[in-house]
Amino acid sequence: MRVKGGTVRHANRKRIMKRAEGYFGGHRRLYKTAKEAVLRADAYAFNGRKERKQDYRKLWIRRISAACKAEGISYSKFMFGMKLANIELNRKMLSELAGTNPTEFHNLAETAKKAIADNEKKAA
């Protein structure tokens, strides 16, 4: 006698159909279409988690760049100056500082400018 996977198969179908609740039309009602929709949704969710990290990094860079322009220095020169001054703050924290504590960010910008100036003196 052939085993058709009764309870296991039913449980798998039930799990897929449960995840497809709220989908439109046959994507909710028909097992085969629901399975495809759930697989595709998982792929989009996976990619979305990666994209969210990229989006946040872009946002932080934009905020830092705007604060740098107010201080009269470009973003790239600011980051170079931070590296020369051995200040290791990540972009998320720099963005927070720029938004919530402008005086501290001003001090960092001045430190970065000074480090760049010192580096240019050494090179000359």
Q: Where do the domains of the chain lie?
A: 7-123
Residues 48-74, mean pLDDT to the nearest whole number: 97
Does the pLDDT of residue 74 top 80, yes or no?
yes
At 124, is the pLDDT very low, low, confident or very high (cuts 50, 70, 90)? confident
Fold of 7-123: c-terminal domain of poly(a) binding protein (1.10.1900)
The reported pLDDT for the residue numbered 43 is 97
The pair of three-digit structure tokens given for residue 83, joined into one six-digit string: 């590296």
Long-range contacts for 6-15 (Cβ within 8 Å, ≥24 apart)?
A: none
Note the pTM of the prediction, 2 decimals: 0.79
Q: Return the C-alpha torsion angle 80, 84, 86, 91, nearest 10.
A: 0
